[in-house]
Amino acid sequence: QSGIITMDEGYMNTGACKSAVTFIDGELGILRYRGYDIEDLAQRSSFLEVAYLLIYGELPSQGQFGEFRNRVTRHTMIHEDLKRLYDGFPKDSHPMAILSSMILTLSGYYNDQLDPLNPRHREISITRLLAKTPTIAAYSYKKSIGQPFVYPRNSLSYIGNFLNMMFSVPAEDYAVDPVIEKALDLLLILHADHEQNCSASTVRLVGSSRANLFAAIASGVCALWGPLHGGANQEVIEMLQHIHNDGGDVNKYLNMAKDKNSTFRLMGFGHRVYKNFDPRAKIIKKTADEVLQKLGVNDPLLEIAMKLEEAALNDEYFVERKLYPNVDFYSGIIYKAMGIPTEMFTVMFALGRMPGWIAQWKEMIEDPTTKIGRPRQIYTGAAHRTYVPLDQRG
Ligand code: SDX
């Protein structure tokens, strides 16, 4: 198929690593997990089933999926000592800092089961990470608003459990809204993997030293935090809010984004690989409209986003540079409608990306030829020099 580079050609020409997990064609706007189109999976699968597909390479049978779902469900609680760590974070700590620290600290509970080369140890780490990340994320939100932690409930779905831990309070009953549950499941599917992006490459590089999975993933969380990567979904909402507060003149900001003397960038636009529409953005844009309507939310930021997109797609600067909305442009509008606070948006990205990071780490451990080798450099420093003692240097 067009766009698929062969291993030899690719490796020699681009230094790209080999992987069988995700395929992207940036020109044609194609994204496939283990060969399945993202559109197909978004419409017909579930996040936990997509996690299985990415990690183990095949869609599970009913028996395999039942065992996987039970295994994950039964490990969603975190150690009571880990809960106490939340008290140690400064009050306004960003939840991405908490998420990375807590994931790394998790390794301390499995000290004698962390060997990446031991298949049983790998399964233990994979299950614990998938199971406990939503709990860790929800607890960081509860801590930030001074509400009590809500324990996971095995009777709820993976997504329903997260929503319950985020939004229920002991004082009253809480029912998971099926509209929100379905929309969140879709969003996490769309974020589940994206080949060798900044954070996935970080996970591979850290994992290539045979550091354990928790250490590799904690590093990936830090890479994702950057505003040019996963942090963009938080930046988009802050940008749209700023434009709204400033009267909603999208052309003023479009011109700022084109002005080389301005540091302003249209967050949520552009992509290192997609030089066509990001297929995820198309699906999220459609979902944003549906979810806001079903929830009866009338968010002026959605209208600003759509006006901004239309103006950019008709502007020579953006068209010439093939700058289209990426996965981060509309996702924040849906998270906001769900009641998820802005500072948690990038944590939501990490929740979704967890199976992709795990799949790529597992692939590299099980097939060392998929390792990202030690990067070399083009040296541009000083030519060879001889040391001059300090008292002779004036
Ligand atoms: C993600 O890799 C992945 O797969 C990542 C990701 C994933 O799923 O893991 O898809 C998730 O990180 C999505 C991207 C989120 N980031 C943003 O939305 C931040 C805003 N976007 C840009 O910073 C930028 O578009 C990048 C970093 C995403 C991509 O950068 P490129 O492709 O290397 O492009 P570039 O920075 O070299 O810019 C090329 C030109 C430049 O102008 P010229 O020098 O040619 O005149 O396009 C301009 C840039 O100034 N440009 C923008 C722009 N993005 C690029 N101008 C205004 N606004 C923008 N958003």
pLDDT in tens, 354-371: 999 999 999 999 998 888
Give percent of the chain above pLDDT 90.
90
252 CA from centroid of ligand 1 (Å): 20
State pLDDT tens for residues 27-49. 999 999 999 999 999 999 999 99
Report how far ligand 1's centroid is from the alpha carbon of 130 (Å): 30
Tell me the CA–centroid distance for residue 267 and ligand 1, in Å: 8
Band the pLDDT of 93: cuts 50, 70, 90: very high
What is the predicted pLDDT for the residue at 15? 60
Q: Tell me the torsion sign for CA atoms 229, 37, 63, 153.
A: positive
283 pLDDT above the threshold of 50: yes
Predicted confidence band of residue 372 (pLDDT cuts 50, 70, 90): confident
Q: 271 CB under 6 A from ligand 1?
A: yes
Residue 3's region, left for phi above 0, alpha for psi from -120 to 50, else beta, is left
Mean pLDDT throughout 262-288? 92
Q: Indicate if 121 belongs to the active site.
A: no
| Residue 191 confidence (pLDDT) above 60 | yes
Give the residues across from 24 on adjacent strands. Answer: 31
Determine the 3-state secondary structure of 31 from DSSP: strand
Q: Residue 374: its pLDDT value, please?
A: 82
Residue of 185, 229, 271, 278 marked catalytic: 271
What ipTM was assigned to the predicted interfaces of this complex? 0.87
Does residue 271 carry a catalytic annotation? yes
Residue (of 231, 229, 177) closest to 339 by Cα position: 177
A 10 A CB-CB count for 251 gives 11
pLDDT confidence of residue 17: 86
